[in-house]
Amino acid sequence: MSGDIPFTSEDVEEIVTILDNTPYDRLDVRIGRFVLRVIRSGEGWSQELEWSDAGSAALAINLDVVSVEPNTTSDDQTLEIRPPLPGTFYRAPQPGAPAFVEIGDRVEPDTVIAIIETMKLMTSVSAGCSGTIEEIVAENAALVDSDSVLMRVRPDVA
């Protein structure tokens, strides 16, 4: 927060117009903390913006992703259901509604067991296997990623 603002489209347009008639392929322009790099590229020109910010490391944030370790007490005969993409895990279609599945429920590969909200989109999660829900590992509304185990399923005995 300093008052300097990186280059408008008009600024960049002017710089490119000037550069286009020169033999130069690249120009770096520094204003305050920002460095604009204009480069000859493809059918025209491209721009890159970088900034220096001494405090940025301290400000770096953690996405606080819940990463569930595989259950070591598992007898290795259960199957794990993992989310197809990172996001927020919901057990029910909406708050207050019954959960898609509970422990002890039978599931088939296309049974919907949860939804994952990522970038405001809801994606249904299917069981992907047949069997009985043995454990619900992830907490409702937790942030999960592809390493997280959502649920464990005891497969049908052949």
Partner 1 sequence: MIRRLFIANRGEIALRIIRTARRLGMTTILGVSEADRTSLPARVADEAVIVGPAPSAESYLSVDRVIAAATAAHADAIHPGYGFLSENASFARAAIKAGIVFVGPDVSSLDAMGDKLMARKIGLAAGLPVVPGGEAEDKAAARLQAAKTGYPLLLKAVSGGGGRGMKRVDRAEDLDSQIDLAMAEARAAFGDPRIYIERYIGRGRHVEVQVLGDGQHAIHLGTRDCSIQRRFQKLVEEAPAPGIPDVKHRALTDAAVRLAEHLKYRGAGTVEFLVDSETFEFYFLEMNARIQVEHPVTEAITGIDLIEQQLLIADDQPLGLTQARMSFVGHAIEVRINAEDWLRDFRPSPGRVTRADWPAGPGIRVDSHIANGGLVPAFYDSLIGKLIVAGKTRAEAVARLSDALSSLTIEGIETTAGLHRRIMADNRFISGDVDTRFFEGLARG
Residue numbers of the site for partner 1 (CB under 8 A)?
A: 1-6, 8-9, 12-13, 15-17, 20, 33, 38-39, 41-51, 53, 56, 59-61, 63-64, 84-88, 90, 93-95, 97, 115, 117-122, 124, 143
Least distance between partner 1 and beta carbon 48 (Å): 5
Residue (51 or 74) nearer to partner 1, CB: 51
Burial of 27 (0-12, 13-18, 19+ CB in 10 A): middle
Closest approach of partner 1 to the CB of residue 4, in Å: 8
33, containing H or E segment:
none
**For residues 84 and 109, which CB has a smaller minimum distance to partner 1 in the complex?**
84
As a whole number of angstroms, the distance between CA 70 and CA 55 comes to: 37
Calpha distance 56→98 (Å, rounded): 44
